[in-house]
């Protein structure tokens, strides 16, 4: 038995055209899954899908803005039309429109963050879980953050949503475990993605952050791909409701986000 074999599985990955999502999509395709790559722009989805197909995998791209419920519906229906089912859902896409003191965030930015990062994650899970339950098989991986585990001077609203995602995973895992649906979170540390660019591109900020990582470097998207693949694979069939830090040791050393 190959514990990491995803042959015959269909995986949908939001935020799948770059960063952590792209690395996860490529890893799952390499493990044999058929992959639906999703992000806001169709041309980016098509580019990622073509790259996976040219590398010997099987993928399609379906654009979806996670802030829009109608596009979540279209993502799920389009994925089923393409591949017949959804076995694995990776909720990776997120937004962070505001950095600064929590009391200074305006309602628009706060509502946008909560809607995209929590409310619509639950909505998307709700669209795929019934099919998983019918087949008695499914794995959902929510990309949270180590920001969920500590206070933040600059990312308070984002951290609130990521903490909520951890609890969302616990609740869904409890509610749907008897249908053989597993729901887990990975908690990345500071990874060098476009979304987190403001936290690592400035040399001074980069050095301050780096001091809190025992491994001696910040994360790369590929560092998360293995953990996501693991949680979606047969190797993790008895793991559910968990939040696994993948952070170069930041949480044990008190480092991470500012």
What pLDDT digit, counting tens, does each position of 100-122 carry? 999 999 999 999 999 999 999 99
Looking at residue 200, its pLDDT comes to: 66
Which helix (H) or strand (E) covers residue 160, if one does? helix 156-176
Class in CATH terms, 10-249? alpha beta
Instruction: For residue 240, give the nearest of 182, 166, 165 by alpha carbon.
Output: 182
Mean pLDDT, the chain, integer: 95
Active site residues: 158
The pLDDT tens digits of the residues spanning 136-168 come to 999 999 999 999 999 999 899 999 999 999 999
- Distance CA(242)–CA(172), nearest Å, equals 11
Better-predicted residue by pLDDT, 170 or 216: 170
Residue 53 structure tokens: 């197909």
Residue 89 structure tokens: 């859902």
Q: Which residue has the tokens 């962070």?
A: 96
The pLDDT tens digits of the residues spanning 52-65 come to 999 999 999 999 99
- Distance CA(95)–CA(148), nearest Å, equals 15
Q: What is the mean pLDDT of residues 208-229?
A: 91
- Distance CA(201)–CA(221), nearest Å, equals 15
Q: What is the mean pLDDT of residues 198-211?
A: 75
Looking at residue 1, its pLDDT comes to: 72
Instruction: For residue 253, give the nearest of 169, 190, 171, 180 by alpha carbon.
Output: 190
For residues 185 and 231, is the Cβ–Cβ distance under 8 A?
Answer: no
């Amino acid at each position: 038995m190959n514990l990491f074999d995803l042959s015959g599985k269909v995986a949908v990955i939001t935020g799948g055209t770059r960063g952590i999502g792209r690395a996860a999509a490529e890893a799952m395709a390499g493990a044999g899954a058929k992959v639906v790559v999703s992000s806001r722009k169709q041309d980016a989805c098509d580019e990622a899908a073509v790259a996976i197909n040219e590398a010997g995998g099987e993928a399609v791209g379906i654009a979806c803005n996670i802030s829009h419920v109608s596009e979540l519906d279209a993502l799920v229906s389009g994925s089923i039309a393409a591949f017949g089912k959804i076995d694995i859902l990776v909720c990776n896409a997120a937004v962070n429109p505001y950095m600064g003191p929590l009391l200074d965030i305006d309602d628009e930015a706060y509502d946008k963050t909560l809607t995209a990062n929590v409310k619509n994650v639950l909505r998307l899970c709700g669209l795929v879980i019934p099919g998983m339950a019918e087949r008695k098989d499914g794995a959902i991986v929510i990309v949270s953050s180590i920001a969920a585990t500590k206070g933040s001077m600059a990312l308070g609203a984002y951290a609130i949503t990521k903490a909520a995602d951890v609890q969302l995973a616990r609740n869904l895992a409890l509610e749907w475990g008897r249908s053989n649906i597993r729901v887990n979170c990975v908690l990345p540390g500071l990874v060098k993605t476009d979304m987190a660019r403001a936290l690592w591109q400035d040399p001074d900020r980069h050095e301050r952050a780096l001091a809190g990582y025992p491994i001696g470097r910040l994360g790369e998207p590929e560092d998360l791909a293995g953990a996501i693949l693991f949680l979606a694979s047969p190797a993790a069939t008895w793991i559910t409701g968990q939040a696994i830090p993948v952070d170069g040791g930041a949480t044990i050393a008190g480092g991470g986000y500012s």
